[in-house]
Amino acid sequence: MDGEKGMMMMMMKKGAEIDTSAPFRSVKEAVVLFGERVLAGEVYVNKLKEMQDGTNEYVPSRPVGSMKAELEETKNNLKKAHEESMLMASCLSSLQQELEQTRRELSQLKEPSVAQVMMPPPGDAAVLERHPSLKKKKKKQLIPLIGGIFSRKKSGSSEIA
């Protein structure tokens, strides 16, 4: 208890300061006020000690045999990927050739444009005519036929009577 009273007396003599200022708006503002070493002092101290002690040397976490096996596996994967890329390149080039050939065939088979259809060739002065078998045949009119039927009856009835 006596120690606690001494501490209290010491604090009262020095006077404790309470920070009543507004909080920091950003980390950058705090760094400007306190400096970088105050905020990250522990990190710098630990790194400095490691560098002085020489404990920063490389210590392999895995045995060399497992690293060699992983290296071989990676080499095999790289070879497979290279072979696949070569296969894909050859397939791609064959597809491009096929596409170009199809485009050429399509342009050859494409219908002529409307201007070509509308304009006959300049040296051709052909007259467009219908085929003779497609001409409409003249139909006989129905009224003279009916008139002929009735006129025969009259002439036939007068002869009998």
For the CA atoms of the chain, what is the radius of gyration?
Answer: 55
* Model confidence, pTM: 0.33
Indicate the domain borders of the chain: 24-58, 64-109
User: At residue 126, does pLDDT exceed 90?
Assistant: no
Instruction: List, for residues 71-92, the tens digit of each pLDDT value.
Output: 999 999 999 999 999 999 999 9
User: At residue 102, does pLDDT exceed 80?
Assistant: yes
Cα separation, 147 vs 95, in Å, equals 80
Tell me what pLDDT residue 53 has. Answer: 74
Tell me what pLDDT residue 57 has. Answer: 56
As given in the structure block, the two tokens for residue 138 are 């003249």
User: Over the range 103-141, which residues count as b (16 or more CB within 10 Å of their CB) and which as e?
Assistant: eeeeeeeeeeeeeeeeeeeeeeeeeeeeeeeeeeeeeee
Instruction: List, for residues 128-160, the tens digit of each pLDDT value.
Output: 666 666 666 666 676 777 777 777 655 545 555
